[in-house]
Amino acid sequence: MDLEYKEEDSRFREEIRQFFRENLPRELSEKVRTRRHLKREEMIRWHKILAKKGWVAPGWPVKYGGTGWNAMQRHIWAEEAALAYAPGTLGFGLNLLASVLLGFASEEQKQHYLPRIYNADDWWCQGYSEPGAGSDLAALTTRAVREGDYYIVNGQKTWTTLGQHADWIFCLVRTSTEGTKQSGISFLLIDMKTPGITVRPIYLMDETPEVNDVFFDNVKVPVANLIGEENKGWTYAKHLLGHERTGIANIGGSKREIKVLKRLALQKQVNGAPLLHDPTFAARIADVEIELMALEMTALSLVAEGASSKIGPESSVLKIKGTEISQEISEMLLEAAGPAGLAFDPDYLDCKTGHAVSGDDELAPLAAHYFNLRKITIFGGSNEVQHNVISKMILGL
């Protein structure tokens, strides 16, 4: 693939920018820019704006509402969305569950669930990790026992991102204890309004319940909600994780954050000179920029070599480097901010009146941002596990 931007790419980029100028609500982009928490209705609002335009699912087949954009156009879209401070879409449905539905669901299931994901009629969350099954996901113990036309589900999922907002959850459940740990897992869709489901918040360091525990107590789930074949869920889970790890790389977001970092480092005075002119600090910025450029070229090459449905262990490379780059930039942002970046005020992040933080709104949330990003090298499969995947699946060691 030719990775150079062509004239048609420049025209497409300008089309995207014009769309953001005309359609991205300023109050939403401002909340993203100042790293404040978006409400459920605000995220759905932006999702629906994109759905109305037909741009909410760039990676989907055109048959189901996709844009038909090539790899370069999807890359440009993601980059410009980040630079415009656009909110994210409802990715658990659009990017993760949809990848499994498109690859393994029946046509009847696709026709039912995909339009509802596309139009934000359903907010999905992910039920993978458990208290005893994180990096060793195949050790999960949440059971689904079939009784006639239903499964009876019992167990617990944890670290369920934004589960408090969700209408549905896609879950890995154990339907058999025979054979290997991986061979007895199934992929099940569960309505969060079903009796027997309890959601309990887990408060993070910024005092937000971004993640949750989800408990299942004799939850009755129709067998029709099984995706693919019973006991074949591990195959579908690996397919989904490839898409998740690719998204976690967050290349567009890191390019945006480097621009912010350079501006702050130019404003910050150290010994009478801008921090950006300090040779050591400038070298760190250069190093992370070079790594990001290499990551971007790698991502473009991988996407160009095959359809997104064929994402494989190479996604581990993107996940490792992308998360490390994001964390390094967040650390330098805090250094560039100095004492002003140490303020911590949950009311500020929630846009409440009378919050204690005063002064530069851009610097105030940097400490919370830094601490929140400590998780990204862990979720989606810890980076230590990703090194093992690369060693085994790519290097053959």
**Chain segment 251-292, per-residue pLDDT in tens:** 999 999 999 999 999 999 998 999 999 999 999 999 999 999
Contacts of 261 (CB under 8 A, 6+ apart): 285, 329, 332, 333, 336
User: 249-394, superfamily in CATH?
Assistant: Butyryl-CoA Dehydrogenase, subunit A, domain 3 (1.20.140.10)
Contacts of 389 (CB under 8 A, 6+ apart): 313, 316, 381
pLDDT tens, residue by residue, 350-366:
777 655 555 566 788 89
Distance CA 175, CA 115 (A): 29
The DSSP 8-state label assigned to residue 345 in this structure reads: -
pLDDT for 68 equals: 94
Q: Which of 191, 186, 190 is nearest to 228 (CA)?
A: 186
Asked if pLDDT for residue 397 goes beyond 90, the answer is: no
pLDDT for 138 equals: 92
Q: Give span(s): CATH 1.20.140.10, the chain.
A: 249-394
Asked if pLDDT for residue 391 goes beyond 90, the answer is: no
CB 157 within 8 A of CB 171: yes
Q: Which of 207, 250, 206, 285 is nearest to 376 (CA)?
A: 250
pLDDT tens, residue by residue, 83-100:
999 999 999 999 999 999
| Beta strand residue intervals within the chain, DSSP E | 124-127, 143-147, 150-157, 168-174, 185-191, 197-202, 211-222, 226-227, 269-270, 273-274
Averaged confidence pLDDT in the chain? 90
- The pLDDT-based confidence of 308 (bands split at 50, 70, 90) is very low
pLDDT for 82 equals: 95
Asked if pLDDT for residue 306 goes beyond 60, the answer is: no
Asked if pLDDT for residue 309 goes beyond 50, the answer is: no
pLDDT for 356 equals: 53
Q: Which of 258, 211, 218 is nearest to 376 (CA)?
A: 211
Dihedrals phi, psi of 126, to nearest 5 degrees: -110, 125
Distance CA 156, CA 339 (A): 41
pLDDT for 380 equals: 79
Torsion over CA: 91, 92, 94, 96 (sign): positive
- Averaged pLDDT, 141-163: 97
Dihedrals phi, psi of 373, to nearest 5 degrees: -75, -5
Distance CA 54, CA 340 (A): 42
Asked if pLDDT for residue 239 goes beyond 50, the answer is: yes
Residue range 124-231 forms a domain whose CATH class is mainly beta
- The pLDDT-based confidence of 71 (bands split at 50, 70, 90) is confident
Q: Which two tokens stand for residue 48?
A: 């629906």
Q: Which of 321, 323, 336, 202 is nearest to 262 (CA)?
A: 336
Q: Which two tokens stand for residue 85?
A: 């401070």
Q: Give span(s): CATH 2.40.110.10, the chain.
A: 124-231
The DSSP 8-state label assigned to residue 195 in this structure reads: T
Contacts of 321 (CB under 8 A, 6+ apart): 249, 291, 294, 295, 298
pLDDT tens, residue by residue, 175-228:
999 999 999 999 999 999 999 999 999 998 777 889 999 999 999 999 999 999
Contacts of 354 (CB under 8 A, 6+ apart): 347
Q: Which two tokens stand for residue 396?
A: 């053959």
